Amino acid sequence: MTVLPDPPKDPRHDPVLRDEVLSALAIVPGEAHVDATFGAGGYTRAMLAAGADVIACDRDPDAIAEGQALVAEADGKLTLIHGRFGEIDRLLAERGIDAVDGITFDIGVSSMQIDRDERGFSFQKDGPLDMRMAQEGESAADWLNSADEGDIADVLFHYGDERQSRRVARAIVAARPLSRTAELATVIRKALRHPPGAPKDPSTKSFQAIRIYVNGELDELTAGLDAAERLLRPGGRLAVVSFHSTEDRIVKNFLRERSGGDAAGSRHRPAPTSLARAATFETPARKVRPGKAEEARNPRARSATLRSAVRTVAPAWSDHPTTKEAMSC
């Protein structure tokens, strides 16, 4: 078994629900496991220590560059790939890997991204209004300064659960052009009449929604779950940690459908195709939430939910409902 020293004790970089994820993965030394969202490497380090051979993936070039030290430390047990987790099956196929024993997803922004002002993810720090995980393509500023007011309102409502999305969108359009995170946060606070120093900063929901939209995170999650279904060998384990109700709903509905629990269909999708298909996952485990001790140690854990399931011998389904359909159930 590979034994790696623990990283510095910084609660911001603790992998959320680490012990619970490891329990769901039930790693046997020598097995091949995928950390589909490498980030700062917290889950990967724990998986290596449990004896797994790990293939890790991240679309953020900073994560890949900074992960090279762990690659060297792991002495051949870790392969680190630059790419999107929604394409993890293709990325592994390019390296001659067509099946693995476990896959882990930690959905959303990483602590290392939030902590860096220049990445523009946080409303608590001033930086360029960027929010791009892959550091390429349209930035948050690009989109906010060109999008229609109605489109901005829809994103804030559907991806951030912002009930006053139209008021916020109107204020954003009136304040354009925006280039800094502090500017955007101030606009949102004024629009929602938030007094300085009051708890529960109202910028939270809008920043989350914009980040999810700019990075296509919900479509990426849908594609990643589909890829995991194709990659996991019979008996393989899937563990997904999410931090937003819409993300969790997509995971819940995917596992419910793929385990045969959606036989009645729903009013939002054609019925009932699942009757003709064998379940690709066993009945999912009950969702797991962090305990009070972890929440106190790591505030990021407060909104975390873990869902897990075990792959059956059935062939992967060839298609998958769209993100909009998965969100609507």
* Cα separations in angstroms, 87 against 81, 222, 239: 11, 11, 17
- The pLDDT score that the predictor gives to residue 95 is 95
- Does the structure show a pLDDT above 80 at 329? no
- Does the structure show a pLDDT above 90 at 90? yes
pLDDT in tens, 104-138: 999 977 666 777 777 877 888 899 999 999 899 99
Environment class of 25 (CB within 10 Å of its CB; exposed 0-12, middle 13-18, buried 19+): buried
- pTM to 2 decimal places: 0.86
Percent of the chain with pLDDT over 90: 73
Q: Is 35 helix (H, G, I), strand (E, B) or coil?
A: strand
- Does the structure show a pLDDT above 70 at 296? yes
Q: Closest Cα to residue 302, out of 248, 227, 220, 244?
A: 244
Alpha carbon 88 to chain centroid, angstroms: 14
pLDDT in tens, 34-65: 999 999 999 999 999 999 999 999 999 999 99
Measured distance CA(226)–CA(89) in Å, rounded: 9
What is the mean pLDDT of the segment spanning 75-81? 97
* Cα separations in angstroms, 24 against 47, 226, 256, 285, 323: 12, 19, 17, 9, 26
Q: Given pLDDT bands bounded at 50, 70 and 90, which one contains residue 196?
A: low
What is the mean pLDDT of the segment spanning 298-327? 78
- The pLDDT score that the predictor gives to residue 60 is 93
- Whether the upstream peptide bond of residue 8 has omega within 30° of 0, thus cis, is no
Q: How many CA atoms lie within 13 A of 249 on its CB side?
A: 15
- Does the structure show a pLDDT above 90 at 199? no
pLDDT in tens, 162-193: 999 999 999 999 999 999 999 999 999 999 98
DSSP label of 266: B
Query: Under 8 Å CB-to-CB from 116, ≥6 apart: which residues?
Result: 127
- The pLDDT score that the predictor gives to residue 125 is 83
DSSP conformation letters of 138-175: --HHHHHTTS-HHHHHHHHHHHH--TTHHHHHHHHHHH
- The pLDDT score that the predictor gives to residue 126 is 92
Measured distance CA(303)–CA(316) in Å, rounded: 31
DSSP label of 211: H
- The pLDDT score that the predictor gives to residue 276 is 67
Q: Where do we find the tokens 């990445």? A: 119
Measured distance CA(130)–CA(296) in Å, rounded: 30
pLDDT in tens, 259-283: 998 644 443 344 444 456 899 999 9
Architecture of domain 135-214: Orthogonal Bundle (1.10)
List the single range of 139-148, 227-236, 275-284 with lowest mean pLDDT: 275-284
Measured distance CA(116)–CA(127) in Å, rounded: 9
Average predicted confidence (pLDDT) for the chain: 88
- The pLDDT score that the predictor gives to residue 4 is 54
- The pLDDT score that the predictor gives to residue 13 is 54
Measured distance CA(102)–CA(167) in Å, rounded: 44
Q: Closest Cα to residue 87, out of 258, 242, 225, 251?
A: 225
CATH 3.40.50.150 fits 11-112+217-328, yes or no: yes
- Does the structure show a pLDDT above 80 at 321? no
Better-scored residue on pLDDT, 282 or 244: 282
Environment class of 3 (CB within 10 Å of its CB; exposed 0-12, middle 13-18, buried 19+): exposed
Sheet of 305-310: strands edge to edge?
A: 78-82, 53-58, 32-35, 100-106, 232-242, 305-310
Domain positions in the chain are 11-112+217-328, 135-214
Query: Under 8 Å CB-to-CB from 63, ≥6 apart: which residues?
Result: 38, 39, 40, 41, 110, 112
Q: Given pLDDT bands bounded at 50, 70 and 90, which one contains residue 8?
A: very low
What is the mean pLDDT of the segment spanning 219-246? 96
**Helix (H) and strand (E) counts in the chain:** 15, 6
Strands annotated E in 107-244? 232-242
Measured distance CA(248)–CA(239) in Å, rounded: 12
What is the mean pLDDT of the segment spanning 316-326? 57
